[in-house]
């Protein structure tokens, strides 16, 4: 019950900040998240090495930006995609996504209960959302269920760094002291943006995340951190 209450509180928080979420994100990341998303899409397409995909699922799709990156990068890479689907438990975020990107399909659903058949998706992504999933182990098993054999899970996330370098300490100062004030000012919800550094601190390390993916039936293909270790990309294949 405690886990359900915690998850409900997180979803409610995202409902609240949905109208200003995109503006706050662009200002806080200074737009650099676009390069991370582009890299994730291009590498996934390269690893999967197919020119035709049936379905890409973006879990915790939020306001839909990653779905748009999958679409645009598929066009650049000469890849056809049958369907791009967004899954998110927040009505507020999905309402914004539907307005921005009406061409995609959406489901209001938790990461642990994706309303799709077994082995139907070629690629499943979750960008800056896995740390907000309370039942993470169950979610990774659900990702495995939804993916085809040899399908890819693509994770972009702010990971906990147990032994930060000097640059890492600068990152932590920005994330803990500067970023919440910027996000709080734009959204008028300081609590929501104080949640961000706390959620990172409470989250997994890269090594633990790799182990959890392997335990859920995935083989790691790629792990790399970008921009002073602010963002980490993990790509794994269903085995």
- Residues in binding site for S-adenosyl-L-methionine: 63, 88
Shortest CA distance to 157 belongs to which of 239, 37, 9? 37
Per-residue tokens: 160: 């906990």
67 burial level (CB within 10 Å; 0-12, 13-18, 19+): buried
Annotated binding-site ranges: 63, 88
C-alpha 130/C-alpha 140 separation (Å) is: 9
C-alpha 46/C-alpha 25 separation (Å) is: 28
C-alpha 134/C-alpha 116 separation (Å) is: 21
């Amino acid at each position: 019950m405690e886990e359900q209450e915690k998850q409900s509180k997180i979803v409610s928080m995202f409902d609240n900040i949905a109208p200003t979420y995109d503006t706050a994100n662009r200002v806080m990341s200074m737009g650099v998240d676009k390069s991370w998303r582009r890299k994730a899409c291009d590498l996934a397409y390269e690893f999967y090495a197919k020119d035709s995909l049936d379905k890409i699922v973006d879990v915790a799709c939020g306001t839909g930006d990653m779905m748009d990156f999958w679409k645009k990068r598929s066009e650049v890479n000469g890849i056809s995609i049958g369907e791009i689907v967004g899954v998110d438990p927040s009505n507020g975020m999905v309402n914004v996504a539907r307005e921005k990107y009406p061409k995609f399909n959406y489901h209001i659903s938790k990461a642990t209960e994706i309303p799709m058949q077994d082995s139907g998706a070629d690629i499943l992504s979750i960008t800056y959302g896995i740390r907000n999933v309370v039942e993470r182990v169950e979610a990774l098993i659900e990702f495995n269920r939804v993916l085809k054999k040899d399908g890819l899970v693509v994770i972009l996330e702010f990971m906990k760094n147990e032994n930060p370098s000097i640059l890492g300490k600068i990152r932590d100062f920005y994330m803990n002291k500067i970023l919440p004030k910027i996000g709080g000012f734009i959204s008028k919800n300081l609590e929501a943006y104080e949640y961000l550094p706390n959620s990172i601190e409470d989250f997994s390390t890269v090594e633990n995340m790799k182990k959890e993916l392997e335990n859920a039936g995935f083989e790691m293909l790629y792990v790399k951190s970008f921009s002073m270790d602010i963002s980490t990309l993990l790509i794994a294949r269903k085995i």
